[in-house]
Amino acid sequence: MTRTRTQGRAQAASPDPYPPSTGAGAAALLAWYDRHRRRLPWRALPGEVADPYRVWLSEIMLQQTTVAAVGPYFTRFLSLFPNVAALADAPSEAVMRAWAGLGYYSRARNLHACAKAVMAAHGGRFPDTEEGLRALPGIGPYTAGAIAAIAFNRQAVAVDGNVERVMTRLHRIATPLPAAKVEVRAATLALLAPDRPGDFAQALMDLGATICTPTTPACGLCPWSGPCAARAQGDMLAFPVKAPKRARPLRHGSALWLVSGANVLLTRRPPKGLLGGMVALPGSSWTVTHRLDQPPPSPLPARLARLPGHAAHGFTHFDLHVSVWRGEVADGTPAPPDHWWEPLAGLAQAGLPTVFAKMAQLAIAAAPP
């Protein structure tokens, strides 16, 4: 484990933060969790057995997405697809529509593929080991650890951003992330509670989310404040150390807002790639060389006028600005192949991902139907 030069174990408040063999660290954390655990829709109550389907669904939704944002999606998803068999049997359009707005749509495609694999290869039961889970679509090391621990009480850890923050502060791990992941994982495994690995995983998540927060850690309430090396030095906010991020390039595009009567023309993105399989406005591709004053290609002849402003959206690897171009064709014009007319009144339920919903908002604000 790498530490900064000014700080070694000898200088910490106690000589060794919770020697792993004693289990004292896990005991302190679990005692705190038993009093302060968050009630979350996917969580089993104390004494209840966790449902692997709910645990899996929540962990996939919670990748790159906050607990607050996931809550309503999780509840709606469960009412539409109450179990893995129902999800596997659902048409992919229904799954993608239920996911619309959550972002990172490859998660939804993998989720559906995973449900089908659980039905086809595992008789409808999730594998109960990290290794078995990792073999399924969309399940990486973090998610496999989380499901194995939470749903099956396996000796596994789930190291996400919250856990990285807690552990790098506890031990003052100065290696920048992502390289520090190996040390963080080892440090987490060393503290794991052998009898309650599922609660241990969730307790660490809760500690990171509610106490050991990025900018205002509530150290006075933390069950690990005594042995915390960063707390002893007063430099909690210096951890985790992160490798500098590369600047995100800015891409541009143009979108088509083509109206016919009380309808707008929609299409579906190709199945693979960014926003694959999602409902979309027709338009140009998104590139660094595209200019906002270039009109989008239109599958129907129409005079296009650019609407004021542009829609802005941030993806993981690039930022995007899109101009929106309005055109009109006669009511009753047939939709071209791979497109359809969506009633404007039902657009909110059409399953547009956020980036396209922003373009639609711009168009509706500029020219209310």
**Least distance to ligand ADE, CB of residue 344, Å:** 37
Instruction: Name the one range near ligand ADE by CB under 6 A: 58-66, 108-116, 179-187, 328-336.
Output: 58-66
By CB under 6 A, tell whether 67 contacts ligand ADE: yes
Size of the site for ligand ADE (CB under 6 A): 9
Strands (E), the chain: 250-260, 263-268, 279-280, 305-306, 311-314, 319-328, 339-343
Residue at shortest CB range from ligand ADE: 62
**Least distance to ligand ADE, CB of residue 61, Å:** 9
| Residue 143 to residue 46: CA distance in whole angstroms | 22
Annotated catalytic residue within 48, 59, 93, 130:
59
Nearer to ligand ADE among residue 59 and residue 164 (C-beta): 59
By CB under 6 A, tell whether 160 contacts ligand ADE: yes
CA angle 165, 242, 68 (to 5 degrees): 50
**Least distance to ligand ADE, CB of residue 138, Å:** 14
What backbone phi and psi angles, to 5 degrees, belong to 114? -65, -45
By CB under 6 A, tell whether 199 contacts ligand ADE: no
By CB under 6 A, tell whether 144 contacts ligand ADE: no
Q: Per-residue b/e over 136-167, b at no fewer than 16 CB within 10 Å?
A: bebbebbbbbbbbbbbbbbebbbbbebbbbbb
Nearer to ligand ADE among residue 25 and residue 198 (C-beta): 198
| Residue 61 to residue 337: CA distance in whole angstroms | 33
Handedness of CA 123, 129, 131, 136 (dihedral sign): positive
Of 18, 54, 56, 58, which lies in the binding site for ligand ADE, with binding defined by CB under 6 A?
Answer: 58
**Contacts with ligand ADE, 93-132, as mask; x by CB under 6 A:** ----------------------------------------
| Residue 264 to residue 367: CA distance in whole angstroms | 13
By CB under 6 A, tell whether 292 contacts ligand ADE: no
| Residue 253 to residue 37: CA distance in whole angstroms | 45
**Least distance to ligand ADE, CB of residue 128, Å:** 17
| Residue 157 to residue 164: CA distance in whole angstroms | 12
Instruction: Name the one range near ligand ADE by CB under 6 A: 9-17, 59-67, 251-259, 284-292.
Output: 59-67
Peptide bond before 240: cis, by omega within 30 degrees of 0?
yes
By CB under 6 A, tell whether 164 contacts ligand ADE: no
Q: Collect all residues with Cβ–Cβ distance below 8 Å to 219 and sequence separation of at least 6.
A: 211, 225, 228, 231, 236
Q: Are 268 and 350 in contact (CB under 8 A)?
A: no
By CB under 6 A, tell whether 80 contacts ligand ADE: no
**Least distance to ligand ADE, CB of residue 241, Å:** 22
Of 157, 167, 180, 205, which lies in the binding site for ligand ADE, with binding defined by CB under 6 A?
Answer: 205
By CB under 6 A, tell whether 40 contacts ligand ADE: yes
Give the pair of three-digit tokens for residue 194. Answer: 């052998």
Instruction: Name the one range near ligand ADE by CB under 6 A: 57-65, 100-108, 176-184, 215-223.
Output: 57-65
For residue 59, indicate whether it is catalytic: yes
Instruction: Give me the residues that bind ligand ADE (CB under 6 A), please.
Output: 40, 58-59, 62, 67, 146, 160, 202, 205
Residues annotated as part of the active site: 59
